[in-house]
């Protein structure tokens, strides 16, 4: 939701402020309830303020979301072609050409500068490129049934149920729009009549109208590609990493974050601001995130049973650290290295380069807003309290085609409640923090140098991989 908000896709259906995503462990929905458990199995010491975005229902109906946004995407310049089959991919030093077959069977050639392969677990692009994958691998085939039924009268506000009966072990979850999915923990094939009976059994009654929408078999798999980049082609989402459904939502969140990391870099290269070397930071930054999340899935309660004895279990990392506090190590970051933890809570990093800008409230002319809203999606951002940095930003913007946004804390921007901004970022009152368009800290300086404009210009050129002379 934080990423969606940053690109103007508002959260139109947020959960209430007191929302708790809990899972009920039951015999059946209308039968005996054993206990409720949190979506997280890491301890929470206290509730944290994570900013203006809210929880979205974990089972977001993605196909409806995509259809609703399709028209807007077209207006923004997207050429959406449905029901096309990829046949081949070729690339050279000038671009990528894909051959597809349209719904009428006609072969078409589509050319572009780069290709993002977001074509799922069985990615045709990844297979054509012969990129291997590593990980826990295949675990089981799961049968699921999607159905519509009015079950709210029995659910007590819960949207997830772990069904445990001698002859039925399944997981039931809501899409919060009248649709439900029942996923069986075995690989038994069931026809529609048997599925209908199983749904009634899971609910514990048949006194409700039931419409079976569709069924599916899918593989529970955990695999991460050996590389996320092959020349001008990038793997994203399930094509890059297949992560089993878990209470941290690693699959969807990790995939969305992949493209968020990649999009601004592609824009910078295609606009001529940055050299193509910037794109090499994509694999360096995103693949370690996928690998850590792969390992963390099997440390958590839901998947410990699938952990191979030969694989070390590892140490469980806090959920907030996993979602908001993983660190990037790449040539695009100055001041991070392998000696640092792989993930910490955002407030524990204190401005460490390679980590995401932490949320804190600021007061501006428009009122109170999150620090995350200070970051420009198409520009770099410098946070500082000393006026000399403001002058440096102004001079750089007169000369450079890399846009740099200056945030002068204490002058039009006030931290709320009053706090020590500099100490929160591990800098003096004369230091600064340079933030990338995706909200990650690329560099910080603890104190004011003798030639701050020259240093800032040099650093910006280094972390932005400037392409040639960028003077206007």
The answer on 255 and 377 residing in a single domain is no
Question: What is the domain range of residue 277?
Answer: 2-64+120-134+222-324
Quote the pLDDT of residue 52. 45
User: Is 230 a member of any domain?
Assistant: yes
pLDDT per residue over 359-372, tens digit each?
Answer: 888 888 768 888 88
pLDDT of residue 393: 93
Asked if 370 and 458 sit in the same domain, the reply is: yes
Q: What is the pLDDT of residue 46?
A: 44
Residue 447, classed as helix, strand or coil, is coil
Confidence of residue 149 (pLDDT cuts 50, 70, 90): very high
In-domain check, residue 128: yes
Edge-to-edge strands, sheet with 367-370: 367-370, 361-364, 414-416
Among 317, 288, 306, which Cα is nearest to 225's? Answer: 288
- Tell me: do 12 and 124 sit in the same domain: yes
The answer to whether residue 157 sits within a structural domain is: no
* pLDDT on residue 44: 53
Instruction: Tell me what pLDDT residue 251 has.
Output: 81
Looking at the structure, tell me whether residues 308 and 374 fall in a common domain: no
The pLDDT, as a whole number, for residue 405 is 93
Query: How much of the chain, in percent, has pLDDT values that exceed 90?
Result: 55
Looking at the structure, tell me whether residues 435 and 363 fall in a common domain.
yes
If asked whether residues 451 and 302 sit together in one domain, one would say no
Cα-based distances in Å from 245 to 168, 241, 254, 300, 368: 20, 12, 12, 12, 36
> For residue 238, which of 84, 124, 369 has the smallest C-alpha distance?
124
Q: What is the mean pLDDT of residues 242-249?
A: 79
Is it the case that residue 54 has pLDDT exceeding 50?
no
Strand partners, 148: 179, 211
Q: Of 181, 184, 154, which is closest to residue 167 (Cα–Cα)?
A: 184
Q: Are 154 and 203 in contact (CB under 8 A)?
A: yes
314 within some domain: yes
Which whole number is the average pLDDT over 242-270?
89
pLDDT at residue 40 in the model? 64
Q: What is the average pLDDT value for the chain, to the nearest integer?
A: 86
Q: Tell me whether residue 135 is exposed, middle or buried, using C-beta atoms within 10 angstroms of its C-beta: 0 to 12, 13 to 18, 19 or more.
A: buried
CA distance from start to end of the chain: 36
**What average pLDDT does range 101-109 have in this prediction?**
96
C-alpha of 293 from chain center? 12
Q: Which residues pair with 35 in a beta bridge?
A: 25
Whether cis (ω within 30° of 0) applies to the bond prior to 417 is: yes
Strands (E), 128-184: 133-148, 160-165, 168-174, 179-184
Q: Name which residue leads in pLDDT, 75 or 337.
A: 337
The pLDDT assigned to 62 comes to 56
pLDDT at 118: 95
368 and 292 co-located in one domain: no
Q: Of the residues 294, 324, 354, which one is the last residue of a structural domain?
A: 324
Q: 64 or 299: whose pLDDT is higher?
A: 299
CATH number at residue 262: 3.50.50
Counting DSSP H helices and E strands in the chain, the numbers are 12, 21
Q: The tokens of 463 are what? A: 């972390």
Contacts (Cβ under 8 Å, ≥6 apart) of 118 = 236, 237, 238, 239, 255, 259
In contact, 16 and 56? CB cutoff 8 Å: no
Residues 253 and 319 in one domain: yes
Q: Are residues 19 and 128 in the same domain?
A: yes
Confidence of residue 468 (pLDDT cuts 50, 70, 90): confident
pLDDT winner (highest mean) among 235-244, 421-430, 448-457: 235-244
319 and 352 share one domain: no
| Mean pLDDT value across residues 444-466 | 92
What phi and psi values does residue 169 have, to the nearest 5 degrees?
-125, 115
Q: How far lies 72's CA from each of 2, 9, 235, in Å? A: 20, 10, 25
Residue 252 located in a structural domain: yes
Structural domains of the chain, count? 2
What value does the mean pLDDT take over residues 159-179? 92
The per-residue pLDDT for 10 is 66
Same-domain pairing of 130 and 278: yes
Any domain includes 28: yes
Residue 149, judged by CB atoms within 10 A of its CB (0-12, 13-18, 19+), counts as: middle
Residue 8 placed within a domain: yes
Residues 350 and 293 grouped into a single domain:
no
Q: What is the CATH number of the domain that holds 410?
A: 3.40.30.120
Residue 371, domain member (yes or no): yes
The per-residue pLDDT for range 295-317, each reduced to its tens digit, is: 888 887 667 656 555 555 578 88
Residue of higher predicted confidence among 46 and 288: 288
Q: Distance (Å, rounded) from C-alpha 132 to C-alpha 224?
A: 9
Strands 168-174 and 160-165 come out as antiparallel
């Amino acid at each position: 939701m934080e990423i969606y908000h940053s690109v103007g896709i508002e959260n139109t259906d947020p959960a209430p402020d007191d929302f708790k995503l809990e899972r009920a462990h039951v015999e059946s929905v209308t039968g005996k309830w054993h206990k409720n458990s949190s979506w997280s199995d890491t301890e929470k010491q206290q509730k944290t303020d994570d900013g203006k975005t809210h929880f979205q229902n974990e089972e977001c109906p993605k196909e409806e979301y995509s259809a609703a946004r399709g028209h807007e995407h077209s207006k923004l310049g997207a050429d959406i072609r449905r029901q096309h089959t990829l046949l081949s991919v070729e690339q050279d030093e000038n671009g990528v050409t894909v051959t597809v077959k349209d719904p009428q069977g006609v072969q078409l050639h589509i050319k572009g500068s780069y290709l993002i392969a977001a074509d799922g677990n069985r990615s045709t692009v990844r297979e054509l490129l012969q990129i291997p994958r590593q990980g826990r691998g295949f675990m089981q085939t799961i049968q699921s049934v999607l159905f519509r039924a009015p079950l709210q009268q029995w659910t007590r506000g819960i949207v997830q149920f772990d069904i445990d009966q001698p002859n039925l072990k399944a997981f039931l979850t809501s899409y919060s729009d009248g649709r439900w999915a029942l996923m069986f923990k075995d690989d038994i094939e069931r026809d529609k009549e048997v599925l209908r009976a199983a749904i009634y059994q899971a609910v514990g009654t048949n006194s409700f109208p039931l419409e079976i929408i569709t069924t599916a078999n899918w593989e529970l798999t955990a695999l991460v590609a050996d590389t996320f980049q092959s020349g001008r082609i990038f793997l994203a989402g399930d094509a890059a990493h297949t992560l089993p459904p878990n209470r941290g939502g690693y699959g969807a969140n990790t995939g969305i974050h992949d493209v968020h990391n990649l999009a601004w870099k592609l824009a910078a290269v295609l606009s001529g601001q940055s050299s193509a070397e910037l794109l090499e930071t994509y694999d360096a930054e995103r693949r370690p995130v996928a690998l850590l999340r792969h390992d963390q899935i099997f440390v958590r309660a839901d998947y410990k049973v699938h952990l191979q004895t030969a694989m070390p279990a590892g140490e469980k990392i806090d959920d907030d650290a996993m979602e908001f506090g993983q660190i990037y190590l790449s040539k695009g970051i100055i001041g991070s290295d392998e000696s640092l933890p792989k993930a910490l809570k955002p407030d524990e990093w204190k401005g460490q380069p390679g980590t995401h800008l932490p949320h804190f409230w600021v007061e501006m002319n428009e009122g109170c807003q999150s620090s995350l809203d200070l970051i420009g999606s198409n520009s770099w951002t410098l946070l500082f309290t000393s006026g000399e940095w403001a002058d440096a930003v102004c001079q750089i913007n007169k000369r450079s085609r890399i846009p740099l946004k200056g945030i002068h804390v204490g002058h039009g921007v006030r931290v709320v409640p009053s706090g020590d901004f500099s100490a929160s970022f591990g800098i003096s009152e004369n230091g600064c923090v340079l933030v990338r368009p995706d909200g990650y800290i690329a560099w910080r300086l603890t104190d004011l140098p003798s030639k701050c404009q020259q240093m800032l210009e040099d650093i910006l050129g280094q972390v932005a991989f400037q392409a040639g002379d960028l003077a206007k």
